[in-house]
Amino acid sequence: MKLSKIWEILCPQPGRGRARVTHAVVVIFLEFFAWGLLTTPMLTVLHETFPQHTFLMNGLVQGVKGFLSFLSAPLIGALSDIWGRKSFLLMTVFFTCAPIPFMRISPWWYFALISVSGIFAVTFSVIFAYVADITEEHERSMAYGLVSATFAASLVTSPAIGAYLSAQYGDSLVVLVATVIAVADIAFVFFIVPESLPDKMRLTSWGFPISWEQADPFASLRRVGKDSTVLLICVTVFLSYLPEAGQYSSFFLYLRQVIEFSPAAIAAFIAMVGILSIVAQTLFLSVLMRTIGNKNTVLLGLGFQLFQLAWYGFGSEPWMMWAAGTVAAMSSITFPAVSALVSHSASPDQQGVVQGMITGIRGLCNGLGPALYGFIFFLFNVELNDMEPVAGRPADTEKSIVPGPPFLFGACAVVFALIVAVFIPEHHRLADVKTCSAHKAGGSASSSSAHAQNGSPLATPTSDAEDIEPLLQDSRM
């Protein structure tokens, strides 16, 4: 039954339109598969380009990228609500993948392009808005789970394949293969992916003026403060994703340097976590959303993340890392559950705005997290500069009570995220907004009103801003 439901979401009946969740899944898979291939070459280029304080410099590069993503995500999300998703999906995929060939052409240009690519590196924002356009509200959490699971699936084999090709044929071939896959992804978006936003849902033409209020991410944050529910959700995302972003930037080298995993063991670890994450975000997520609800699913995912980070922080043996990895897979349900929660709190024509805001916060974490983790490792004298385990490492470092201090810091941040998430209301005022919008639509729009009451993405947007939540009010000027 679960597989049939997933198939129904991926390949809906023709009457529901040409755009499908399958299109979003393929775009995400190709983009992150290309970057997954570069896991090993990336560490090499980092070390060769920045031989001193490698991960601190990596944090600086990622910090610039993350901050630019934070600045641009609300604007791109709002523009996609007006002009459609496809053009912005093409733009985000192109600029996200643009630095790949420069890894071998010029490492300095490569890191410079990674930094500035943050302006458009908000693919998840547009993808989640794309999915919201073509799914019913009751399907959305499973659809988001499929997209997030695709991200995990792209990392199941790509790091191992990249490491093998690098060892056998050199990094240049890995970069070439990744570039070809990136070009294929861009071509797929350009030639095959259809527009998901119906013409009647687009607010106006290309001549529609965008106000500074819509483009200013700090104004978006100020609007967040006017809506207590969205404020709680955004704080939860920040506190939970900050340690996750830092973990992504340093964990594999941490396994290699401190826990002394072999390259084959690291590839197997990534594959295991990826496969389990796919299962968690498809089968388990849908069951949990139906049985315990959206909010409790978020709380459960945060609980798994807390357990995982604490285990990473105190664990000093390889088997501990393997065990914690299974818990990490279960914690992957948090973000799709949060995205579904945010989506349910927004009207159909504003999915890009709210998803852009969440993606902007994640982009900010992508900048702060790596720098913070690298700095904490540096403070506690856990060296991450060498590409091979240090033979002369003192015995007391091996037997440290807290081998991974940044992970313990991350666990503390997730504790606060759990506390904040407890206060998220179980049901937002979305139902009242929909009902009021449907009532104002009048008799001539009764079919559109029915769609609005059912949470359909095809509901006709209301022009009465007084019935919109404070967060979203300014975006409809």
Q: What is the sign, positive or negative, of the torsion defined by CA atoms of 116, 369, 76, 36? A: positive
Q: How far apart are CA 414 and CA 186, in angstroms?
A: 36
Q: Compute the average pLDDT of residues 421-432.
A: 64
| Closest of 141, 358, 327, 147 to residue 247, by C-alpha | 327
Q: Kindly state the average pLDDT of the residues 360-384.
A: 76
At residue 225, does pLDDT exceed 70? no
Q: pLDDT higher for 220 or 263?
A: 263
Q: Is 116 exposed, middle or buried (0-12, 13-18, 19+ CB in 10 A)?
A: middle
Amino acid at 42: M
Pull the structure tokens for residue 7: 């198939």
Does residue 455 surpass a pLDDT of 50? no
pLDDT value of residue 211: 56
**Coil vs helix vs strand at 206:** coil
Question: Does pLDDT of 419 surpass 90?
Answer: yes
Q: Where do we find the tokens 């997030």?
A: 148
Of all residues in the chain, the percent with pLDDT exceeding 90 is 17
Identify the residue with better confidence: 129 or 8.
129
Distance between CA atoms of 183 and 31, rounded to whole angstroms?
9
Poorest-pLDDT segment among 16-20, 41-45, 332-336, 438-442: 438-442
Which has more confidence, 458 or 100? 100
**How many other β-carbons are positioned within 10 Å of the β-carbon of residue 392?**
4
Q: Which pTM value belongs to this model?
A: 0.67
Query: How many degrees, rounded to 5, is the angle at CA 62 between CA 60 and CA 68?
Result: 105
Taking the C-alpha atoms of residue 70 and residue 477, their distance in angstroms, rounded to an integer, is 22
Provide the pLDDT for residue 292.
87
Mean pLDDT of 369-382: 78
Which single residue is written with the structure tokens 């009532």? 439
Highest mean pLDDT among 65-69, 137-141, 256-260, 294-298: 294-298
- Decide if pLDDT at 173 tops 90: yes
How far apart, in whole angstroms, are the C-alpha atoms of residue 465 and residue 452?
A: 16
Residue matched to tokens 């201090």: 405
Say if residue 471's pLDDT is above 50. Answer: no
Question: Pick the residue with more confidence: 221 or 119?
Answer: 119
> How are the residues of the chain apportioned to helix, strand and coil, as percentages rounded to the nearest 5?
80, 0, 20
Query: E strands within 7-48?
Result: none
238-270 tens-digit pLDDT: 999 999 888 877 787 788 777 888 777 887 888
Q: What span, in angstroms and rounded, lies between the C-alpha atoms of 352 and 128?
A: 8
b/e 395-424 (16+ beta carbons within 10 angstroms → b) = eeeeebeebbbbbbbbbebbeebbebbeeb
64 within 8 A of 185, measured Cβ to Cβ: no
Q: Are 294 and 236 in contact (CB under 8 A)?
A: no
* pLDDT value for 93: 93
Band (30; pLDDT cuts 50, 70, 90): very high
Q: Please give the distance of CA 223 from its chain centroid, rounded to a whole number.
A: 22
- Cα separation of 327 and 264, whole Å? 21
Evaluated on CA atoms 218, 219, 225, 227, the torsion sign reads negative
What proportion of the chain, given as a percentage, has pLDDT over 70?
71
CA distance 127 to 24: 6
Q: pLDDT confidence of 397, banded at 50, 70, 90?
A: very low
Greater model confidence, 4 or 236: 236
Per-residue pLDDT, 175: 93
Confidence band of 181 (pLDDT split at 50, 70, 90):
very high
Q: Among candidates 405, 154, 124, 411, which has minimal Cα distance to 273?
A: 154
Q: What is the pLDDT of residue 461?
A: 33
Alpha carbons 306 and 300: distance in angstroms, whole number: 10
Q: Which residues touch 428 (CB under 8 Å, ≥6 apart)?
A: 229, 344, 345, 469
Residue 136 DSSP SS3: coil
Please state the rounded mean pLDDT for residues 302-311.
93
Give me the chain's average pLDDT, please: 74
Q: Tell me the two tokens of residue 213.
A: 């209020």
Please enumerate in sequence order all residues whose Cβ is within 8 A of that of 427, keeping only pairs 6 or more positions apart, or say none: none
Which amino acid type is present at position 16?
Answer: R
pLDDT class for 210, splitting at 50, 70, 90? Answer: low
Per-residue pLDDT reduced to its tens digit, 74-113: 778 777 877 888 888 999 999 999 999 998 888 889 888 8
Amino acid at the residue 73: A
Structure confidence at residue 400 (pLDDT): 63
How far is Cα of residue 115 from the mean position of the Cα atoms in its chain?
18
In angstroms, the CA 300 to CA 331 distance is 8
CA atoms within 13 A on the CB side of 132: 33
- Tokens describing residue 70: 């934070």
pLDDT score, position 383: 56
DSSP states of 339-387? HHHHHHTS-GGGHHHHHHHHHHHHHHHHHHHHHHHHHHHHHTT-----S
- Alpha-carbon distance of 133 to 85, in angstroms, equals 9
- List the single range of 161-170, 210-219, 257-266, 320-329 with lowest mean pLDDT: 210-219
Per-residue pLDDT, 412: 94
Higher pLDDT, 252 or 226: 252
Identify the pLDDT of residue 303.
94
